[in-house]
Structure formats: C-alpha cells, structure tokens
Amino acid sequence: MKNKTFPSVSTLKGVGPRVAERLARLQIFTIQDLLFHLPIRYQDRTRIRAIATLRSGDECVVIGTVEHSEVVYRKRRMLLVSVDDGTGKVLLRFFYFNNAQKNNLARGVNIRCFGEIRQGLKGPEMVHPEYEIQHPDDPAKVEDHLTPIYPATEGLHQLSLRRLTSQALHCVKSEEFPELDLLPVPPEIDGHRVSITDALAFVHRPPPDADTEALTSGKHAMQRRLAFEELLAQQLSLSKSRLQLQKQAAISIAPIAKLYQQLINNLEFELTNAQQRVITTVFSDLKNNYPMLRLVQGDVGSGKTLVAIAACLQVIEAGYQAVVMAPTEILAEQHLRNFSKWLEPMGIRLAWLSGKLTASKSREMKDLIASGTANAIVGTHALFQQDVEFKNLALVVIDEQHRFGVHQRLALREKGIQNNAHPHQLIMTATPIPRTLAMTAYADLDYSVIDELPPGRKPISTIAIPLARRHEVVKRVANACRNGQQAYWVCTLVEESEVLQCQAAEDVFSELSQLLQGVKVGLVHGRMKGNEKDAVMLAFEKREIDLLVATTVIEVGVDVANASLMIIENAERLGLAQLHQLRGRVGRGSVESSCVLLFSPPLTENAKLRIDTLRNTNDGFKIAQVDLEIRGPGEVLGTRQTGMLQLRIADIMRDQDLIPKVQATAKLIQEEYPQNVDALILRWLGESIEFGQV
Ligand code: ADP
Ligand code: MG
C-alpha cells in the first residue's frame, strides 16, 4: 500500500511476484515510482560510427564485415574476430562463446555490434560486444533514441527496466494521471514551461538529436526541470519535518543568566561578538516550548566550547540537566577539564562517562546522573548505553557532529524524552558548510556561524616538503623546541588499522627521542588507556613535554595554546577537512605558528590540490568548498549511510544556482498550494524519510 492514486507496478506486463519483489528493492512500487526511476547515464546507439573515428572509451555502434576469425589459445581460450568497415578495423574479443557463435562469425559475414572501445596492442578492440548478424537486405537499423542506463539490481537488468519504463511512459500518455501535472506553480526554467510528463518522456528516451553533451553532464533543460522539482521536494520535506519538530514539546528555559554572568566575569578574556551573538540566539531558542535544533559552525579555535558552556549553565540554573557529548575520549576529557575549571567553582556537580571507566566508577557516575545529583554530564558515546538514565535532561550538546551518525544522535534524544518533553539540541561542528548545502541538507536545522576568531590569532604558515628532506624538518623541530616552542608530530597511515597507526607513532617516538637530545618527547595514541593519554596531554599542556608524537587522535578539539609547530607525516593520505582540523591544533596562542606537510611524491592530482589549497589558505570556508568539489556532499557531511541527500537527478553542487528559486517556490507552494506538498514529497522521496528527526 504505497500510494492510492497510482496503479501498482503489478498491473504492467511482465511484472509477477518475483519481478515485483525486485522492483521493491529499488523502492519501486507504483507506476509513478517507475517513472521517477531516472537514468544515471546514456548510451548512443542512434548512430553508426566509422571505425576510424573511434576513441578509447567510446561506447558505440559499428557495422562492418568479418575479415578474419579465429580461436586462439593464450592464457585462456578466446575467439578473435576482426571487423572492417572500410574506414578501419576493430578486433572483437570473446572469452565465452559456443560453436554456433564461432561458426556464425565467419569471414564475409556482415555484423552490427555495440560495445566500449579499448585501445589494444594492434588497434581498437571491443571485449564481448553485443552483436547481431546483418542480412544483406536488412536496412542498417539503429535505435531512434539514446539508450538510458538505469540504476539496476540483481535479477532486474537494463532490458527489463527499459521495457517497464516504456510501458509506464505509455500509460502516462494514454491514461488520466492527474497527479503528474501537479505543479501549478510554473517553475519556468530557462524561460520555458515544460510539463513534467514531457520532461520525463525526454529524460527516459532522449531523441537522437538531443544535446548529448548536456545530457551527459546533467545540464540539459529537461533534466534541470526535473532536478528543480526534486530539490523542491527535498526542501518541502525538510521544512515539514521542521514544522513537526516545532509541534513537539520541550521545557522552556527561563533566561535568568546569573550563572552565565558569573562565567563572563571570571573569564580572563572578552567573548567575541560572534560568540555573544550565537549565545544570545541559543538563549532565545531555549526559551521556546518546542525543542531547539541548532547547528553551530565555527572554525577550529573559534571558541565553540564557551557557547556550549553558556547553554548548559542556562539549563542548569533552571534546575535541569545538560549533557555534552564528544566523539573521542581525548576530546571528552578535555571538555571535562574545561567544565571542571569553569563550573565547579560555581558549585555545579559534574558527572563523567566514558567507555574506559571501571565498572564501579561507571556505576557511581550513572547513579549521580539518575539521581540528579550531577547537573552537567560530559562523555563519549558511552552516554548511549541502555542503562544510562537521566533525571531531568533538558539539553543535549553534541560536539564535532560529523563524527556521530544520525542514529546515535537520535538515541540520545530519545533518552531525554520525559513527560513527552524533548530535550533541546545544540550541535557544534568545525566543518564549514557552504551556504547552498546548509540551505538544502540542513534546511530542517537552525544554523549559526561563529564567523570570527578570538583576537590576536596569527595565520598559520603552511609548507609542503617531500619526504626526502625529512631530516631538515627534524632539525627544525629540534631548534624550535630548544627555543621553548612546543610541537606536534602527527603520524598517519592509510590502513584503517589502529594497531598499525599506533605502531607507526611508537616507531617515530623512539626515533625522535634518540635523535633529539635535550628535547622532551611524548607519545599519545588511541590504544593508550584513558588516564595514560590524559597524563600525557596534561604534561604537554604544562610544557613538561616539548614534542608530542601522536596519531590522528589529536585531530579534534585538543587545545594547547603554546603549541606552534605542526608536522604531518604522509599528509598526502589525509583528506582536506582532516588536514585543516589537524593544523588547527596550532595557531591558538599569540605566537607565529607553522605547519609542515611531509609528503611522499609523486602526488596524485587530488592530493596535490589538497596540499596546495592548504598552503594557500587558512579559511575554513574556502577549504570546505574545495573539499566539497573533490569529495561531494555525501562524503563531506558524513551522510552517506543515512539516506539523506540521496538525489535521483539533482546534484547540489552542479545545480546550486537553482536553489534560491527552489526556496522561493517552496514557500509559495506551502502558502498557496499546501495540498500539493505531500504528493510532491511522495513522488521524489517515497515514504522512507525519517531524517528530519535528527
Ligand atoms: P573550538 O571552537 O575549536 O572548539 P575552543 O572552544 O576549544 O575552540 O577555544 C579555543 C581556545 O580559545 C580555548 O583556549 C579558549 O579558552 C579560547 N577562547 C575562546 N573564546 C575566546 C575569546 N573570546 N578570546 C580569547 N580566547 C578565547
Ligand atoms: Mg572544540
């Protein structure tokens, strides 16, 4: 029971229970679903290509005469058929063939074949082309439209999908499908009003004279017509979940702000304007009787922690609990230190939960949380455990959100629901989100930016040095440390294995300890115990360690203001966002800082782009933009797995120019045609949309 208006796919020819089950795997239940199952690319079988004009990678139709055919025995037995069309020759290569095939492909026979051209040793080749024998009196037939290639699934291949979509397109033409023309707001793209049915017919079966270049790059007007509508549906769906959120209840937090004032008075510095602005916004969100859902973005070092603390204080003052969750042990511990430093003097009890606590300690903490003795709770994902219960949780702060999955966030939110009241949520990230993305992917969240760094920060100068000159870098580190500077040396490995990562760090640690007489070298990595790590970090903070060798565990959040030199080994292996995060560990104090990216040549094109970008700018937004271009939004936002942003035809980067109009149209539809909202969402997103509940 997917949709009342549209007939089920089972009404189509060739769809029995087995095919229906396979279609269901592609989320296709109705004829409408089939119509919106759009091609990912096209093949051109509308023209016969002259062999002489073929290039490697071309997928094309060729007609010619078999000039030679033989079975050869190399590593494997294979049938080689040389075909000549008068302009040149192409070699067909078959590894699987039967005798009939072999006999049919005899010298003098005319064949028509389709396949991808590869450059072989002796000229162009096609491996296992599709082919047909042409009889002399047959007209040289070609397809009358470009061939669509659909997302497929096991047991349901292109040919079946083509047959089914043809039937669906036919239905639309012949039957009444009122819903299909449901877009009374004219989205006049490029000044043309194109009906949805025309756009669908075109995109499923583009005519031979279609602009293939535009089609291949997804920029054809017909594709943009559909992309526009898809983005519109996304937008409508996100604002719908936002409205739903606002219907949920939350505890309204009175803005007393006495504790906050006390905090400000105790700080040895002034809050930046940006921090103050975001804090004011958060306080006003907390006053609402529906849950806050705010994403705060601030570049590394912009002072997000104080925003979190301010929000917590407000909630605690009103008599409720606040929890702060960090993605790593080290970062959680650091929050704990900050919270103790600032909250304990005000008489606020803290609790702390991490996976590494002993059973009895953890029990003790859980009791503090359940009884409400502790008001401020800091921890890692250990906070998700089933037996963690809160007395009266009113605020969840999630730091460095991209490390957490949507489901983890949901779990914590669920825990906080009491008497139907949802906790407020503050999500903090250092990943800058370009505006277009924020407006689409995060349209269901409120969004604030801390767009100002505390005064006195100096830009970090970044250089890239090939591994062959590593010894010079070692010397430079030694000099810096002997002059009272502190440095990080980060070891990276491609392998996901934490064991190997830590091994690499241990090796570098012993190497540098021996090489650098008079320099105090420390080591921190993910396999050390929490208290060991803590001790090392503390020693580094107290300047008892000059040089800290580390794995990428220090990537997020670690804050030692005196550290001014960052060495990243094998920098070419890391992504831009990660490099930017790592580099952000220095440049936090008032000293000039630098970052050395050690790389092993040769660099791939992308690695070179990453390193150049980092050398040229400290601006998190510029870096994010390049990152987005290299990796795409799904990767950047870490939403690959969550089902968010799985677009059928639109591409946020490519189609970003459509977004302002999408937003305006969404607003218009909500106001003038509210009855169309659900139909549009259903058409493009189906019924499987849960992500609004982040
Ligand atoms: P991030 O946004 O990366 O989490 P933090 O909250 O860790 O940044 O802050 C980085 C450092 O800057 C901390 O040592 C913090 O005490 C300091 N800091 C925060 N706000 C200010 C400010 N307004 N002026 C000076 N230093 C600040
Ligand atoms: Mg932080």
Per-residue pLDDT of 262-276, as tens digits, reads 999 999 899 999 999
Q: How far is the CA of 461 from the centre of ligand 1 (A)?
A: 20
Q: Which residues contact 613 (CB under 8 A, 6 or more apart)?
A: 576, 622, 623, 626
**Residues 635-649: what's their mean pLDDT?**
55
Confidence of residue 5 (pLDDT cuts 50, 70, 90): low
Q: Check whether 582 has a pLDDT greater than 60.
A: yes
> Would you say the pTM of this structure is higher than 0.75?
no
- Boundaries of CATH 2.40.50.140 in the chain? 51-142
- Which of the two residues, 406 and 649, has the higher pLDDT score? 649
Joined together, the tokens standing for residue 108 give 């003098």
C-beta of 376 in contact with ligand 1 (< 6 A): no
Give the Cα separation of 341 and 153 in Å (integer).
56
- Which of the two residues, 314 and 671, has the higher pLDDT score? 314
**Residues 606-634: what's their mean pLDDT?**
83
Q: Check whether 134 has a pLDDT greater than 80.
A: yes
3-state secondary structure of 427: strand
The b-or-e profile of 162-194 (16+ CB within 10 A means b, else e) is bebbebbbebbeeeebebbeebeeebebeeeeb
Site to substitute for ligand 1 among 302, 307, 556, 585, most atoms within 8 A of C-beta: 302
C-beta of 274 in contact with ligand 1 (< 6 A): no
- What 8-state DSSP symbol labels residue 189? B
Q: How far is the CA of 557 from the centre of ligand 2 (A)?
A: 4
- pLDDT the model gives residue 185: 55
What is the residue-averaged pLDDT of the chain?
85
C-beta of 429 in contact with ligand 1 (< 6 A): no
pLDDT in tens, 211-251: 888 888 889 999 998 998 888 888 888 888 778 878 889 99
- Largest Cα–Cα distance in the chain? 96
Q: Check whether 301 has a pLDDT greater than 50.
A: yes
Closest ligand to the CA of 268: 1
Q: Check whether 343 has a pLDDT greater than 80.
A: yes
- pLDDT the model gives residue 168: 92
Confidence of residue 50 (pLDDT cuts 50, 70, 90): very high
Q: Check whether 306 has a pLDDT greater than 90.
A: yes
- pLDDT the model gives residue 15: 93
Q: Which of 143-147, 315-319, 458-462 has the highest mean pLDDT?
A: 315-319
C-beta of 341 in contact with ligand 1 (< 6 A): no
Give the Cα separation of 653 and 267 in Å (integer).
42
Q: Which residues pair with 293 in a beta bridge?
A: 425
Closest ligand to the CA of 297: 1
C-beta of 272 in contact with ligand 1 (< 6 A): yes
- Which of the two residues, 518 and 531, has the higher pLDDT score? 518
Q: How far is the CA of 210 from the centre of ligand 2 (A)?
A: 52
Q: Which residues contact 474 (CB under 8 A, 6 or more apart)?
A: 512, 515, 516
Would you list the DSSP string of 318-360? TT-EEEEE-SSHHHHHHHHHHHHHHHGGGT--EEEE-TTS-HH
Q: Check if CATH label 3.40.50.150 holds for domain 253-287+303-429.
A: no
- Which of the two residues, 548 and 300, has the higher pLDDT score? 548
Q: Check whether 280 has a pLDDT greater than 90.
A: yes
C-beta of 440 in contact with ligand 1 (< 6 A): no
Residue 196's identity, in one-letter code, is I
Give the Cα separation of 184 and 87 in Å (integer).
53
pLDDT in tens, 478-491: 999 999 999 999 99
Distance between first and last Cα of the chain: 27
Closest ligand to the CA of 560: 1
Give the Cα separation of 152 and 25 in Å (integer).
10
Q: How far is the CA of 453 from the centre of ligand 1 (A)?
A: 8
Confidence of residue 528 (pLDDT cuts 50, 70, 90): confident
Q: Check whether 431 has a pLDDT greater than 90.
A: no
- Among residues 430, 421, 374, the alpha carbon closest in space to that of 402 is found at 430
- pLDDT the model gives residue 435: 65
Ligand 1, atom 23, residue with closest C-alpha: 271
pLDDT-wise least confident of 236-240, 466-470, 494-498, 563-567: 494-498
- pLDDT the model gives residue 690: 42
C-beta of 304 in contact with ligand 1 (< 6 A): yes
Q: How far is the CA of 430 from the centre of ligand 1 (A)?
A: 13
C-beta of 451 in contact with ligand 1 (< 6 A): no
Give the Cα separation of 430 and 300 in Å (integer).
6
Ligand 1, atom 17, residue with closest C-alpha: 303
Site to substitute for ligand 1 among 266, 306, 428, most atoms within 8 A of C-beta: 306
- Which of the two residues, 435 and 671, has the higher pLDDT score? 671
CA atoms within 13 A on the CB side of 453: 17
Q: How far is the CA of 559 from the centre of ligand 2 (A)?
A: 8
Q: How far is the CA of 279 from the centre of ligand 1 (A)?
A: 14
Confidence of residue 585 (pLDDT cuts 50, 70, 90): confident
Yes or no: say if 546 and 512 are a contact pair by the CB < 8 Å rule: no
- pLDDT the model gives residue 577: 81
**Residues 594-619: what's their mean pLDDT?**
92
C-beta of 587 in contact with ligand 1 (< 6 A): no
C-beta of 504 in contact with ligand 1 (< 6 A): no
For the CA of 561, the closest atom of ligand 1 is 14
- pLDDT the model gives residue 693: 37
Confidence of residue 192 (pLDDT cuts 50, 70, 90): low
CATH number of 461-617: 3.40.50.300
3-state secondary structure of 240: helix
Q: Check whether 526 has a pLDDT greater than 60.
A: yes
Structural element, H or E, at residue 449? strand 446-450
**Residues 298-317: what's their mean pLDDT?**
93
Q: How far is the CA of 589 from the centre of ligand 1 (A)?
A: 10
Site to substitute for ligand 1 among 264, 268, 269, 270, most atoms within 8 A of C-beta: 269
**Residues 306-334: what's their mean pLDDT?**
91
Q: How far is the CA of 552 from the centre of ligand 1 (A)?
A: 21
pLDDT-wise least confident of 142-151, 174-183, 251-260, 283-292: 174-183
In percent, the amount of the chain with pLDDT more than 70 equals 88
Ligand 1, atom 9, residue with closest C-alpha: 303
- Among residues 243, 246, 248, the alpha carbon closest in space to that of 417 is found at 248
Q: Check whether 184 has a pLDDT greater than 70.
A: no
Q: Check whether 495 has a pLDDT greater than 80.
A: no
- pLDDT the model gives residue 439: 66
- pLDDT the model gives residue 633: 60
Q: How far is the CA of 305 from the centre of ligand 1 (A)?
A: 7
Yes or no: say if 116 and 57 are a contact pair by the CB < 8 Å rule: yes
- pLDDT the model gives residue 74: 84
Joined together, the tokens standing for residue 632 give 């795409």
- Boundaries of CATH 3.40.50.300 in the chain? 253-287+303-429, 461-617
Ligand 1, atom 5, residue with closest C-alpha: 303
Yes or no: say if 375 and 316 are a contact pair by the CB < 8 Å rule: yes
Q: How far is the CA of 294 from the centre of ligand 1 (A)?
A: 20
C-beta of 267 in contact with ligand 1 (< 6 A): no
Ligand 1, atom 19, residue with closest C-alpha: 303
C-beta of 208 in contact with ligand 1 (< 6 A): no
- pLDDT the model gives residue 3: 41
Check the CA dihedral 134-140-141-147 and report its sign: positive
Q: Which CATH superfamily is domain 51-142 in?
A: Nucleic acid-binding proteins (2.40.50.140)
